[in-house]
Amino acid sequence: MTSHVSLQRDAYPVSLADTGLFDGIRSEIGRPDLSDGDLQRLLCGHEVAFLTASPEARLALVRSLPVPPPRLGLEMPAHDLNPPLAARFAPVATFWQRLLQPVAPQLKRLPVSFKDH
């Protein structure tokens, strides 16, 4: 199981969402994908300090936040490097069947027609 750094906190005593500071934070840490909720959780416990700090201290606080990694995964299909013989020779079998296709009707065993003496 993968455990990422947990950002879940329960209470937001002060809401920063309406202060317009979040856009600045997103820009500063280069994460436009973070929602207001994410940022609110990140700053949880630091709201007052954040609002009352000088611009320099605020910048330092933002730059030391434990920001979660971007969530943009890639699919990684698992390739079978030791397939069974049936799978390994499947293309050959298909090719052979395709090769036989034109002559297949001739190869088909037909019932002997009734001979009327």
Partner 1 sequence: MATGPDVSDKITPQLASPGNGAWATASRRVAMALITVCLTTAASYMFAIVVQADGFDWLDVVRITLMAVASFWLAWGGCIALFGILFPPEDHRGMPLRAQGATAILLPIYNEATGPVFARLEAIMQSVDRLPTAGRFDFFVLSDTTKPDVAEREYQAWQRLLARRQAGGHLFYRRREQNIGRKAGNIADFLETSGGAYDYMLVLDADSLMDGATIQEMVRRMEADPRLGLLQSLPQIIGLNTLFGRLLQFATGLYGPYFARGLAAVQGGEGSFWGHNALIRTRAFAASCGMAPLTGKPPFGGHILSHDTVEAALLARDGWKVRLDPDLTGSFEEAPANIVDYAKRDRRWCQGNLQHSRILAAPRFRFWSRISIVQGIFAYLASPIWLLFLLASLAAPLVAPPPVYFDGHSPFPVFPHPETTTALALLFGLVALLILPKLLLVARALLGGNASEFGGPGRLALSFLLEVLLTSILAPIHMMFHCRSVFQVLTGADSGWPAAERDDGSLPFQAAFSATWWMSIAGGAATAFSHYYVPELFYWLLPITLPLVFAPFLVWMTASVWLGRLTRRFGLFAVPTDTHPVDVACDMEAALQQQAAA
Residues that bind partner 1 (CB under 8 A): 1-5, 28-33, 60, 62-83, 88
Q: Residue 31 or residue 47: which is nearer to partner 1 going by CB?
A: 31
User: To the nearest whole angstrom, how small is the minimum distance from the Cβ of residue 9 to partner 1?
Assistant: 16
User: For the chain, how far is it from start to end, CA to CA, in angstroms?
Assistant: 82
User: To the nearest whole angstrom, how small is the minimum distance from the Cβ of residue 87 to partner 1?
Assistant: 9
Q: Residue 83 or residue 104: which is nearer to partner 1 going by CB?
A: 83
User: To the nearest whole angstrom, how small is the minimum distance from the Cβ of residue 5 to partner 1?
Assistant: 6
Q: Which residues contact 16 (CB under 8 A, 6 or more apart)?
A: 22, 39, 40, 43, 47, 50, 51
Helix 55-63 × helix 21-29 angle, to 10° = 50
Residue 68 in contact with residue 7, Cβ under 8 Å? yes
Q: Residue 2 or residue 106: which is nearer to partner 1 going by CB?
A: 2
